[in-house]
Amino acid sequence: MTVPSSRSVRRLAWRGDAFEPGDRAIPVEMAIAISYNRTSHAVMMATPADLEDFALGFTLSEGIVDAAGDVEDVEVVELPGEDGQAPRGIELRLWIGEARMRSLDARRRHVAGPTGCGMCGLESLEAALRPPRAVPAGRVFAPAEIQRAVASVRPAQALNRETRAVHAAGYWTAEHGLVALREDVGRHNALDKLHGALAREACDAAGGILVMTSRISVELVQKAAIMGVPVLAAVSAPTTLALAMAEQAGMTLVAVAREDGFELCCGGQRIGGAAG
């Protein structure tokens, strides 16, 4: 059984001065368990799509492995529900080498969190506020290229067009346009899925722009830095901690990116006309 990403439900819509019956597509949200060598590690609430990308991206962003090739195998296993029909959840079973598993056991934690919780299960403030990885120099983008990158995302959001309820993470380059996009009910999940998709294709993220359809939180900056993305653009604003982390990483942060322009928060050396 393949779990769909959306489901149609009945609803009453108030239009003018009366209720109208009809249907509404809503995104599927379900428990996604992640295990390594059959040892439980995390339970996240996510959209059941692009799950192999999610498994790999989560594993990379958590620092459990350093490269896609360090993951030996991924199994997507649906856990049957009580009625024998719809699954009650999905387990992503990853297999990694013994050395990696010993390292993971040494910092063993169990993670259980709400939708897209990007920092669940961290054992200390030091882990939550770990210094970000320095990003590559990248290239310089014209302001018009920033706007083209942001504009490329919305037409590709098939699930959000259907449900109006999911986030997206997209990767854009001047040479190829929108290279990849992933959607999920959680913005962190969408970014992990994108990370996994790019890693599976051995795509170097240093030459492009990461576009998010959400606010910029500190977890997104940390994940983007691990991906090696120098430019992060989003339709909303950053938090104070996200801005501080971006500055530490040497990242270019573009916020409130809309059709009529954007706001440059830091890293002006990568945006034409901003540094001088």
What positions carry a catalytic annotation?
Answer: 117
Q: Which two tokens stand for residue 72?
A: 């030996």
Closest CA to 227 of 240, 241, 244, 209: 209
**Coil, strand or helix at 162:** helix
DSSP states along 60-108:
HHTTS-SSGGGEEEEEEEEEE-TTSSSEEEEEEEEEE-HHHHHHHHHT-
Q: What is the DSSP letter of 154?
A: G
DSSP states along 205-262:
GGGSEEEESS-B-HHHHHHHHHHT-SEEEESSPBPHHHHHHHHHHT-EEEEEEETTEE
Distance of alpha carbon 233 from alpha carbon 244, whole angstroms: 16
